[in-house]
Amino acid sequence: MDTKKKSINLLIFSSCTLIFSSCSLIMPTTQVLFESKNGIELVCPPERVKVVCIPDAGDDHGQALDIYVLNDRGEVEQFLYSRMISPGECSKEMKAYKKILKQGKSIYITGKDELVSEPDNINTRWVDFPGLGRFKLKNRFYVFMVIKNEKGDCQGQYKFCPVEGKDFYIRNPEILDQKK
State which amino acid sits at residue 66: D
In a domain, residue 166? The reply is: yes
Is 10 among the domain residues? no
- The enclosing H or E element of 83 equals none
pLDDT at position 65: 87
**Confidence (pLDDT) at 179:** 40
Number of domains the chain is built from: 1
48-60: average pLDDT:
83
**pLDDT value of residue 61:** 74
Q: Collapsing DSSP states into helix, strand and coil, what is residue 2?
A: coil
Q: pTM for this one?
A: 0.73
Predicted local distance difference test score (pLDDT) of residue 14: 55
Summarised one tens digit per residue, pLDDT across range 119-132 is: 555 457 889 999 99
Contact partners, residue 131, CB within 8 Å, separation at least 6:
47
In a domain, 33, yes or no: yes
For residue 148, the enclosing domain spans 28-177
The reply to whether 17 falls in a domain is: no
Is 110 within a domain? yes
Across 168-173, average pLDDT:
47
